[in-house]
């Protein structure tokens, strides 16, 4: 054997060994691809299962209109308008969808009502994005304390959503602290404590008889900085009865956060229960006046037949949905994906 061949084999192994390594690398790469594909399929399956109620209602409404008419005319569009409103899509948005559908029908010379389904699905995507890229990821950066402020009415699924978000971040190797600053409800603090233990997050609770949420936030930020936490999630009281008190309370909390961590909170998330329909939109307007918001977490989507609320929130409030709750399990709170949502909502109408 020549010197160079011996030296190469010593450094890199024999040709057979090099080939084996290449094969192993290729297998690992394919395995990664396969795993990614499985995750994608699993996510889509969760969307389809979680949106089954909304999908059934939406497809029934559209099919009813299609079956009633044998051609596309003004009467057809009037019935279609009503069907979209029944799905909890705002009147303003419905008008835009109908106008866009009319333009497409005219341009493509379409007369068969059965062909309108794909146009509707396409317009829902176009109108939601309005030519922009929808980013539903959280503003979490390495090398800083990331603060997430969470607001929402009692019973909206706020506590469980906080736990589920914490769980996701912990899975991404983030060190998470939760501040139980809903001091007016002892039950909320207890529930959050149970959930924090379940998902492996640390928690700061109010001291006995401590009712000032801002004091809890102050302590939580100090601990988060001292113990080098990556993320601090702050729960707040969800009382809408007194708007002035709510605004004052959130303003005080925001001032403390900004003073101790300039530029924070990095996310201000509003939790909305999807089953409340238009009431959820009203709540969003009140909270938006009370504090700056960066996105929506829409819970209990699997429990509603009115799937249009996501579109209405974006249109009425100007906020995108960051997370969508599609079931009870911790894994069922998913980052919002527009394509999966539209597919889950409209599947079966083509």
Q: Which residues are annotated as a binding site for GTP?
A: 152-159, 235-239, 299-302
Tell me if 199 sits within 8 A of 212, measured CB to CB.
no
Q: Which helix (H) or strand (E) holds 158?
A: helix 158-171
- In terms of phi and psi (left: phi > 0; alpha: psi -120 to 50; beta: otherwise), the region of 327 is left
Distances (CA, A) of 174 to 164, 200, 295: 14, 11, 21
- In terms of phi and psi (left: phi > 0; alpha: psi -120 to 50; beta: otherwise), the region of 55 is alpha
Question: How many CA atoms within 13 Å lie on the side-chain side of 290?
Answer: 31
Cα radius of gyration (the chain) = 25
* DSSP string across 24-44: HHHHHHHHHHHHHHHHHHHHH
CA–CA separation, 281 and 293 (whole Å):
14
Q: Where are the alpha helices (DSSP H) in 227-277?
A: 243-260
Q: Under DSSP, is residue 202 helix (H, G, I), strand (E, B) or coil?
A: strand
Q: Which residues are annotated as a binding site?
A: 152-159, 235-239, 299-302
CA–CA separation, 266 and 280 (whole Å):
23
CB atoms within 10 A of CB 248: 12
CA–CA separation, 190 and 182 (whole Å):
11
Question: How many CA atoms within 13 Å lie on the side-chain side of 214?
Answer: 15
Angle at CA of residue 248, ends 246 and 254, nearest 5°: 100
């Amino acid at each position: 054997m020549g010197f160079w061949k011996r030296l190469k084999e010593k450094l890199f192994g024999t040709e057979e060994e090099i080939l084996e390594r290449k094969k192993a690398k290729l297998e690992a790469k394919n395995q990664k691809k396969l795993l990614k594909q499985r995750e994608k399929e699993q996510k889509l399956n969760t969307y389809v299962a979680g949106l089954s109620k909304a999908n059934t209602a939406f497809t029934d409404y559209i099919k009813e209109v299609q079956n009633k008419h044998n051609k596309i005319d003004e009467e057809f569009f009037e019935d279609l308008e009503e069907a979209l409103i029944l799905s909890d899509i705002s009147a303003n948005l419905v008008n835009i969808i109908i106008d866009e559908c009319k333009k497409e029908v005219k341009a493509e010379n379409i007369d068969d009502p059965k062909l309108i389904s794909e146009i509707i699905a396409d317009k829902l995507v176009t109108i939601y994005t309005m030519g922009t890229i929808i980013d539903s990821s959280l503003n979490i950066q390495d090398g800083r304390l990331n603060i997430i402020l969470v607001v929402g009415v009692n019973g909206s699924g706020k506590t469980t959503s906080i736990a589920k978000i914490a769980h996701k971040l912990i899975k991404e190797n983030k060190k998470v602290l939760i501040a139980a600053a809903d001091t007016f409800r002892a039950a909320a603090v207890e529930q959050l404590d149970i959930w924090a233990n379940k998902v492996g997050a640390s928690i700061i609770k109010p001291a006995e008889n401590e009712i000032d949420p801002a004091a809890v936030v102050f302590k939580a930020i100090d601990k988060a900085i001292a113990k080098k936490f990556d993320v601090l999630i702050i729960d707040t009281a969800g009382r809408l009865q007194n708007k002035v008190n709510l605004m004052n309370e959130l303003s005080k909390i925001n001032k403390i956060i900004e003073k101790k961590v300039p530029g924070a909170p990095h996310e201000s998330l509003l939790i909305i229960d999807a089953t409340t329909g238009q009431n959820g939109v009203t709540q969003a307007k009140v909270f938006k006046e009370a504090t700056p918001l960066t996105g929506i977490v829409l819970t209990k989507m699997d429990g509603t037949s009115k799937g249009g609320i996501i579109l209405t929130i974006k249109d009425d409030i100007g906020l995108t949905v960051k997370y969508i709750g599609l079931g009870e399990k911790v894994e069922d709170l998913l980052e919002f994906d527009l394509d999966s949502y539209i597919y889950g909502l409209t599947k079966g109408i083509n």
